[in-house]
Amino acid sequence: MTELIGRSLHVALQSRRRLVRDALTSVLASQQDLAVVGQTADIADLPALCALRSPDVVLIEAEGLTVTELETLSALHKEFPRVELVIVYADLPPRILDMAWRLGITTLLPSSRGLEALLSLLRRQTANGGAHRPGALTDREMEIISLLSTGHSVPEIAELLDIGARTVENHKRRIYAKLGVGSSSHAIGRATALGLSEPVLHRQEPRAEIPELTAREHEILRSIARGDTVRQTGRALGIAGKTVENIQARLFRKLGVRNRAGALTAAYGLGLLDPGAVTPPDRTRLPRQRAASF
């Protein structure tokens, strides 16, 4: 393999363990020649992540890798042949290792080799997988996802990016199509699940602990994550819309945010919501297929 020349190597991460993903993201992001473009807990999310962010390398922590997951990686290898798959493993059964080789997944690194061996291996990868693909998120779309995730409205985003509000709305529609979602709340959840928009704690009012929410506030929060309107939430919970608005306002104060998007971002960052649990039903549609009409 040849050395990467001219730009950072784009890396996507997969690990079931949140701590491992966060640690690897931090380490790789500290390297000038490496850039983490996404991360996920679920191997099944990797095809969408590759389509959206065009990584050069997908780094998989193979903790308890199953035959089904290996078959998913094999399909990923066939669909994205220019993306290098790197499996880091502690202890895999010989039949799994043999199957990986037979399926064409040949870059495997024992975790006992350590971090330096991993960095050295990554730097030997060829930079041939990062060309922009149809359906991949653009830099502008990534900016807008980030701003949506921090609770900014369309007019605010337009002002910050010095573009028209209609242009922002057009970008949002393309983002929804590529992510396979139909609302801002689903977009934030999907982006969080794929590591495209890291959840951050709201910083205007620093907190020493996670706010205590009532059962009803948790229900409202989950309803927001599903993209339900106030009326739909009231109907589902058997309460008046005004009551929903009052509970929602109290929830916002507890989380230190000002709107639904900010509440979602804070909730994901605090671990009050699992982004994988609120993914919209149409997530199985490939982003590039959904985006074809734009």
How far does CA 135 lie from the centroid of its chain? 16
Query: Where does the pLDDT of residue 275 fall: very low under 50, low under 70, confident under 90, or very high at 90 and above?
Result: low
DSSP letter (8 states) at residue 164: -
Stated pTM of the model: 0.64
Q: What is the dihedral of CA 178, 184, 188, 190, to 10 degrees?
A: -40
Q: What does the pLDDT average to over 60-78?
A: 87
- Helix axis angle, 94-102 relative to 67-79, nearest 10°? 20
88 pLDDT above the threshold of 70: yes
What gap in Å lies between CA 261 and CA 188, rounded to an integer?
A: 8
What gap in Å lies between CA 195 and CA 122, rounded to an integer?
A: 20
Q: What does the pLDDT average to over 119-136?
A: 66
Tokens standing for residue 173: 């529609």
Interacting residues of 214 by C-beta distance below 8 A, sequence separation 6+: none
pLDDT at 198: 56
DSSP letter (8 states) at residue 151: T
- Domains observed in the chain: 9-123 (3.40.50.2300), 136-294 (1.10.10.10)
12 pLDDT above the threshold of 90: yes
Per-residue pLDDT tens over the stretch 224-240:
888 888 999 999 999 99
The 3-state DSSP class for residue 85 equals strand
Looking at every residue in the chain, the average pLDDT score rounds to 80
What gap in Å lies between CA 292 and CA 294, rounded to an integer?
A: 6
Query: Where does the pLDDT of residue 193 fall: very low under 50, low under 70, confident under 90, or very high at 90 and above?
Result: confident
The 3-state DSSP class for residue 138 equals coil
